[in-house]
Amino acid sequence: MALDRSCGVHATCVPIRYTSNTVISPLGKERLLRAQIAMSNIATLLKAEISRISRREIRAQVQPLRRASTSYRREIAALKREVQELRRQTSLLVKRTTKQAKAVDAEGSTPPLRFVAKGLRSLRARLGLSAPELARLLGVSDQSIYNWELKKAVPRKEQLAALATIRSLGKREVLTRLEAIDDRHKKKVARRLR
């Protein structure tokens, strides 16, 4: 019976062939077995060390990525919460504006005021006012009245509303308003002169 003994690690090691005629002392067999075990232990130790070092290197490379990933997840979650809150606020604002628009419509929609230059001339004639007097009543310049009558310009909404109120007045009321405006103007001038 022949026993082949080699280290099992190195390819260059020549196996020692023991035959049944070779006498090996029990001490030699034990050394031989220890050498074989030591060689196999070195191989497993090297393999374990290599895997340990590679795991450490991988961990060193992956750890910053994990930290970044968790921070990104946190930021994404915060952004999602913010978007959800903004959506809720916009839906509330839409509901409020639709309610307010409905309330304004329900209160009574007044027809839009129209301006006709011919109507302005006839209003002045009916009330017996000159263009500067009508301008004082409306709080605009004399030139504005002329431009409106010649269709060169159109009064603004506030001025249209003032025209609508003057349309509903009579001659006496218009004259009393003009006198009140003139009195206020005289008082301002008197204050400035003091």
Per residue in 65-97, pLDDT (tens digit) is 999 999 999 999 999 999 999 999 999 888 888
- At the top level of CATH, which class does the domain 117-193 belong to? mainly alpha
Higher pLDDT, 10 or 77: 77
Nearest-angstrom CA–CA distance, 189 and 193: 6
pLDDT bin (cut points 50, 70, 90) of residue 109 is low
Give me the pLDDT at residue 61, please. 92
Instruction: Work out the percent of the chain whose per-residue pLDDT is above 70.
Output: 75
Tokens coding 61: 């490379």
Nearest-angstrom CA–CA distance, 105 and 112: 13
Per residue in 173-190, pLDDT (tens digit) is 888 888 888 888 788 777
Nearest-angstrom CA–CA distance, 154 and 120: 11
Nearest-angstrom CA–CA distance, 2 and 178: 139
Tokens coding 76: 């994404």
Instruction: Read off the pTM.
Output: 0.42
Q: Taking residues 58-63, what's their average pLDDT?
A: 92
Torsion angle of the four alpha carbons 125, 127, 129, 134, in this order, in degrees rounded to the nearest 10: -110
Which ranges in the chain are annotated with CATH 1.10.260?
117-193
